[in-house]
Amino acid sequence: MNQLELFDHNVLQLAQKYGYDPRHANFVKEQALFLFDSTINYHNLSDSDRKLLEHACILHDIGTFINEKKHHKHSYYLIKNDLALKEYPKEVKKILALVCYNHRKKIKSKTFKLKTKDKNLTLILSAILRLADSFDYSGEEIQIKGIKIENDFLRIVVDGIITPTLLRRVEKKGELFLYLFELQKIEIENKVRVS
């Protein structure tokens, strides 16, 4: 068992305290872990890093308890300051809070002041969380079923209806992912169903 698994209960307790949406959090977690596992040869992160991503997926929207409009900022504050995570390692908690902050809008400048290893980890987990979050818009839950990286393209196979709104969200929220993995474009295609 890695160290962060010991804090699963504390993370869930914090999420419940601030009225998180378990359907959305679990959906984003499922998509993010699929992305993480499918790109492991590109990021080479550890099982502990994967667990940290899982915690970020559960907590990324808890700031909506305070304000929907700037919830990423409030999520950052709550993670950094709530006593539910007082035993969480300080440096790891800082990364967790930054990943949740970075899941939308601009990247928090404090990210770039981290040690190189922590900065890279924070940016990669943020990119994965952003992309995973883009597949659940208004409860649509577009399931990622496959990923392939080839010829500077990230091809994502999904089960669900590909709408113009989904394409715009994935394009916008996938920018950091493309940048970090030195890719040019994300292509989304429907899963082919066999009768």
| pLDDT tens digit sequence for 128-152 | 999 999 998 766 778 899 999 988 9
| pLDDT tens digit sequence for 43-94 | 999 999 999 999 999 999 999 999 888 999 999 999 999 999 999 999 999 9
pLDDT of amino acid 1: 60
For range 86-108, the mean pLDDT? 93
Residue in this structure with the two tokens 């035993």, named with its chain if needed: 87
For range 91-112, the mean pLDDT? 94
Other Cβ atoms less than 10 A from the Cβ of 4: the count is 20
pLDDT of amino acid 195: 38
Does residue 160 surpass a pLDDT of 90? no
pLDDT of amino acid 107: 93
What is the rounded CA–CA span in Å between residue 5 and residue 91?
16
What share of residues in the chain are helix, strand, coil (percent, to 5)? 60, 10, 30
> Cα-atom radius of gyration of the chain, to the nearest Å?
16
For the chain, domain boundaries: 3-141
Residue 34's closest CA among 161, 180, 137, 132?
132
pLDDT of amino acid 48: 95
What is the rounded CA–CA span in Å between residue 5 and residue 1?
6
**Could you say which architecture CATH assigns to the domain 3-141?**
Orthogonal Bundle (1.10)
Residue 60's closest CA among 165, 112, 136?
136
Does residue 192 surpass a pLDDT of 60? no
pTM of the model: 0.94
pLDDT of amino acid 141: 73
β-bridge pairing 153-159 and 143-150: antiparallel
Give start and end residues of each alpha helix (H) in 39-173. Answer: 40-43, 47-59, 71-81, 90-101, 116-133, 164-173
